[in-house]
Structure 1
Amino acid sequence: MILIHGVSPEQIQMLPLSALERSILSKKQNSPVVYRYESLGALNFELKTRASIVEAAKALNASGVDFADFDKSRCNEQFWTRMENGGFQLRSDVLPSDGINDIFRNGKLYAFECSMAIVMVLYKAILDVLPMQTFNRHFQNLILYGWHYDKDLPLRKVESGLEVYPGDVQYFKNPDYDPETPEWQGENVVVLADDLYFGHGIGIRTSRGMIDALNGARRPFSHTSAYLMDEVVILEYELLRTLPLREERTGTGNGDAVIAQIGTRTYSYKNGKFEVV
């Protein structure tokens, strides 16, 4: 169920939501798990951002980007510099918003592996829900390399026991992958809907489809199947939602630390960045 102090279920139902957002809301309302929100705005922001993640994943899938390991990665050098390790570093004369948008607009110029794709999807989704000025201030000097991400992209991994919703990130593990193709030791995926996922290099498939694709990349004569791991990576939505508010409280780039408590984690925010303390 959803609990917001001072807000009735009828008020929650009055939120203007898309079909996907309303389906997420309904699932949370009917869940035995209690989901507490600071405000109606906090709930609305999470729903909008989850839907944005789903749309960004679909957009990347349709963009024409190729799958490649780090040795064979490529990027549009008008926006990014390819590093020796195969990652991409944003050029100093390019706005973060322009760099991220170019990946989705000129996908055929890019090739990368699946963990980089997930981070790109998250950046794109956040860019589409936050004010552009806020995004550009807080995601400067971007580097795209595996699961490397900016400190202002707050992610939390839950090992087990968490309900899964569209916009969450999961992992299909291929424990007996062929050593000749180590890039297929697993697949990072974005949850799009019930039993529907996007994974770069495989595409949009059900869990069975993801497992079948990974099983095709096992070592010869292996009978050990790939499987969906019982862990979920989620955004700390409230930290993202309040980025513009923290700018007002501290000023951009200076000011005293602000302490935020999100779930069981405590964050400090100072000089335009936040960190777990």
Structure 2
Amino acid sequence: MIQVSGRPFQPDDSWKADTTETTIIEALQKTPNLYSFSSEKELMFEIKSRKNIIVSAKEMDNGESSFATFRTARCNPEYWQLTTAGGFLLRRQVSPADATRDIFTNSAQYKFECATACVINFYHGLLKTMGASSFNTLFPNLYLYSWHTDDDLGLYSFFANHYVPGDVVYFNNPDVNPSTSWFRGVNAIAIGDNEFFGHGFSIRTSEKMIEGLNTKRKPDSQQSAYLSGLITRPSFQSLSRFSGGRTIHKTRPFLVHHNKTSVSYRQYLYELSYKPKY
């Protein structure tokens, strides 16, 4: 259910939502949770951001970037420094917006795993929504590695039996073959109509995603892969309140190089809690 300024939201004739935006609004309305917004502007920011995350996922799917483990990750050295851990560190004097766009415009130069892909799509979708000036101010020190993000992205996760297009869901493969451990799961962006984009898996239905993971199980496995209830998303409302042009005090978020491909955000937080931070 959507609530704006304390009242149930019903779009009127002034709302000119396209098909994707309408799907997002309907999904928010149908969830058992209350989505409360202080204004229609705040609501529109979330709808536009979710739409742009979906657009970004489709652009990545149509591009030439490929799936890779951290050991074989690659990036364009003009914009990013490839770290020994397989992360992409923004080069000095490079615009965060330009570097983020380059992942899509020069996609053939990039290789990364599915958690990193989701983070890239979150950033790219927000860049489309906010514009370069606000994006550069809010995210000046990008480092792309697994689920590591700038604190102002406000990433959080929870378990639920529903999702909204633009969310990241996790397909878990508990009986993955150890020889191909990177198929332990797939972080995938919900596109809508039971379609999901998982980097390395392209856009598939949930059934096809599970079918693909099931081919990567142990030979004697009796446990199918499945769509878990884990949902991960940015804090859209906090992001919507950011006003470009003001100075922001940035803190350095904790980081752990866990070297485990295709982990969920919840697993990343576990690694962050129990391993040395850098």
Residue by residue, what CA displacement relative to the aligned partner does 1:88-122 show, whole Å, maximum 9, x if unpaired? 10111211001100000111111111111000000
In 1, the alpha carbon distance for the partners of 2:27 and 2:13 equals: 13
Residue by residue, what CA displacement relative to the aligned partner does 1:111-148 show, whole Å, maximum 9, x if unpaired? 11111100000010000000311111111121111111
Q: After TM superposition, where is structure 1 displaced by more than 4 Å over at least 4 residues in a row?
A: 6-13, 272-275
Matched with 1:175 is 174
Matched with 1:252 is 247
**1:31-42 alignment, distance < 5 Å:** 31-42=31-42
Question: Any gaps of 5 or more consecutive residues in structure 1?
Answer: 254-270
Q: Percent identity?
A: 36
TM-score (norm 1): 0.86
Question: Would you say the 8 A contact 1:7–1:40 is kept in 2?
Answer: no
* Range with bigger deviation, 147-156 or 49-58: 147-156
User: Is 1:243 aligned to 2:238, yes or no?
Assistant: no
TM-score (norm 2): 0.85
Matched with 1:54 is 54
Matched with 1:192 is 191
Cα distance change, pair 8–143 in 1 and its aligned pair in 2 (3 A) = closer
Residue by residue, what CA displacement relative to the aligned partner does 1:32-85 show, whole Å, maximum 9, x if unpaired? 543221111111111111101100000111110011101111111111110000
Q: CA deviation at 1:10?
A: 5.1
User: Is 1:133 aligned to 2:136, yes or no?
Assistant: no
SS in 1 for 2:152: coil
In 2, the alpha carbon distance for the partners of 1:146 and 1:9 equals: 36
SS in 1 for 2:63: coil
Matched with 1:208 is 207
Matched with 1:258 is none
Residue by residue, what CA displacement relative to the aligned partner does 1:190-237 show, whole Å, maximum 9, x if unpaired? 000031100001110001111111111112232211111111112211
Matched with 1:112 is 112
SS in 2 for 1:81: strand
Structure with max Cα Rg = 1
Cα distance change, pair 34–95 in 1 and its aligned pair in 2 (3 A) = same
Q: CA deviation at 1:243?
A: 1.1
* Residue-pair matches, total: 253
Matched with 2:103 is 103
SS in 1 for 2:170: strand
Q: Which protein, 1 or 2, shows the higher relative CO under an 8 Å CA cutoff with sep ≥ 6?
A: 2
Matched with 1:85 is 85
